[in-house]
Structure 1
């Protein structure tokens, strides 16, 4: 008997043919799907072409910025921001920002600049990179200097050594803008007179009165930072740059190296220290450098101990350091 009958061979051929037919149909269907699929070939953030961007009028962009579509709204805001930070428009913005005689123009320019650097919809654009030259910092410093004359009415009841009670409302926006732009190009900000023209004349409460502590401003910014978070952040940025530290010392906002070393040499183990919320870390404080032995009389040592009254602030959870100690000015 033959191993395969005529019907068996027929069924075998039919099965093989069906197998290849199914595979061929599946392959053809995949090709049809690929050919008919609409692919997004536009680049990211290119919803509106560059040629169309230049042709759009400001009124049209304003309407698009109020659209319910997130993509259209973001694209419109991006176009507006790019137009505002280049060419003549940028020059007019900075000119109005530094304007001293027209407070309305200054306020509008400051509001516009604040929007440009803080709005989330513009975070992916190159706004900040276009506002990092000396001209921008010069206009911003001029704006802040203009606000110095407006520190004449009480706007806050907070008792703080770093936060003035007379801070104008517009100054808050200017500080926020400066805090964002300062890390972009700190040397240019210093060249524009950030410290020499503005901070050196700023009415810090600790620097007013008979017992001025202007040289302790940087230290107080670290210990009382919660009273003025934005200003403390600005000082923190300045204190991380060598040129910033140099100018802070030069204009009397930070103690000199000689004074700090002398202060360290005068401290000894039995000095009187007032601990505030430092129960958990008081035992972990150790002098960071060896103290020199002095051959003074007992009366001089007692007098020096009475004068060295200090306050140590600690939030707990870390060892104390020299930055946590605030000394009162010695009164004769």
Structure 2
């Protein structure tokens, strides 16, 4: 046991033991303090998701909404703005005032009302604009926005639509959305062709206007070309274009190219799928859109079939009409 006595009397062993004890005590105290801190910490209560009911929205007064619209929280401001827009679009008086405002000759007033109308409307509120009064107001707004110094629309490689005035683009946006969802009959009855389309600078002579009009329709891919295509695709619109001189009197549906209505077929199919997914399709709407889509596809097939031909010539003589064998027109 002499070695044990020597070990106990060794100063290095004593100091080592004291050091280990001190370290263990510090670690233990630290663990106890951390545990006490965690138990003493007051954690914030997690906010619960709350939904605003219709009764809550209706109970909010105008002063409260004004305060919420100036709130520092973006989500609160957005919710308040949505409530204000919903109230405005469901208020017939507000819609009528805005439609009246977009027909004023003062440019700034017309622009303010167009912007306000664009803010409060969405795809769900388009039925409020599918009225005779709304179409007439939009056409009048476009008529007031005509540029008297507009250049001739004869450049098929340059799209002038982005350079048009904002009042025109807003009005055309509403019209494009409406006729894409419904049809162009009310727009035609509101004299869109006579009051705005025919007043565009298509050229000086009748032949030049008709040529530039057809080039615009074939080569441009913007809202104006889409609106024109939908108008031309209806009997009343086709007649209106002829009466206005934009189409020749002897122009017929057989003169149209195969690609003229292809984008309308795709648009109708997309519109059909979109409205079906939104649960807004009525049975008669589904039947009408399907019939129109199938009719357009069948017309394209017949036009393509009627244009098929066979040329028989061995090269020993010039090509003439007798060498072309064409299908009988169905």
Tell me the TM-score range normalised by the shorter chain.
0.5 to 0.7
209-218 or 181-190: which moved more?
Answer: 209-218
**Residue 186 (structure 2) aligns with:** 188
**Residue 307 (structure 2) aligns with:** 288
**Residue 252 (structure 1) aligns with:** 245
Unaligned runs of 5+ in 1: 1-38, 265-284, 291-300, 302-332
Residue 238 in structure 1 maps to residue 238 in structure 2: no
Unaligned runs of 5+ in 2: 1-47, 257-303, 310-319, 321-330
Aligned residues: 215
Please report the TM-score for the alignment, with normalisation by the length of structure 1: 0.52
1:95 to 95, 100, 112: 100
Q: Do the aligned partners of 2:156 and 2:220 also contact (CA within 8 Å) in 1?
A: no
**1:1-332 equivalent positions in 2, closer than 5 A:** 47-50=52-55, 52-53=57-58, 55-57=60-62, 60=65, 63-64=68-69, 68=73, 70=75, 72=76, 75-85=79-89, 86-100=91-105, 102-117=106-121, 122-123=122-123, 126-148=124-146, 150-152=147-149, 163=160, 167-183=164-180, 184-203=182-201, 207-210=202-205, 212-216=207-211, 219-226=214-221, 229-256=222-249, 258-260=250-252, 288=307
- Per the TM alignment, residue 147 of structure 1 is displaced from its structure 2 partner at its CA by 1.0
Please report the TM-score for the alignment, with normalisation by the length of structure 2: 0.52
Residues 158-187 of structure 1 deviation map (CA, whole Å, 9 limit, x = unaligned): 776874898434322222222112333522
Q: Write the distance in 1 (CA, Å) between the matches of 2:200 and 2:173.
A: 16
- Per the TM alignment, residue 103 of structure 1 is displaced from its structure 2 partner at its CA by 1.8
Q: Write the distance in 1 (CA, Å) between the matches of 2:144 and 2:150.
A: 15
Q: Write the distance in 1 (CA, Å) between the matches of 2:144 and 2:133.
A: 17
CA RMSD of aligned residues (A): 4.1
- Per the TM alignment, residue 260 of structure 1 is displaced from its structure 2 partner at its CA by 4.3
- Per the TM alignment, residue 68 of structure 1 is displaced from its structure 2 partner at its CA by 4.5
Give every structure 1 segment of 4 or more consecutive aligned residues whose post-TM-superposition deviation is greater than 6 Å: 261-264
Q: Write the distance in 2 (CA, Å) between the matches of 1:65 and 1:217.
A: 51
Residues 189-228 of structure 1 deviation map (CA, whole Å, 9 limit, x = unaligned): 222221122212222xxx21347433345532342214xx
**Residue 312 (structure 1) aligns with:** none
Q: Which structure features the higher share of helix residues? A: 2
Q: Write the distance in 2 (CA, Å) between the matches of 1:247 and 1:211.
A: 16
Q: Write the distance in 2 (CA, Å) between the matches of 1:223 and 1:108.
A: 34
Q: Write the distance in 1 (CA, Å) between the matches of 2:246 and 2:208.
A: 9
Q: Write the distance in 2 (CA, Å) between the matches of 1:211 and 1:250.
A: 12
Q: Write the distance in 1 (CA, Å) between the matches of 2:245 and 2:206.
A: 14
Residues 220-245 of structure 1 deviation map (CA, whole Å, 9 limit, x = unaligned): 2342214xx12112112223333222
Q: Which has the larger radius of gyration?
A: 2
Residues 256-277 of structure 1 deviation map (CA, whole Å, 9 limit, x = unaligned): 4x3448979xxxxxxxxxxxxx
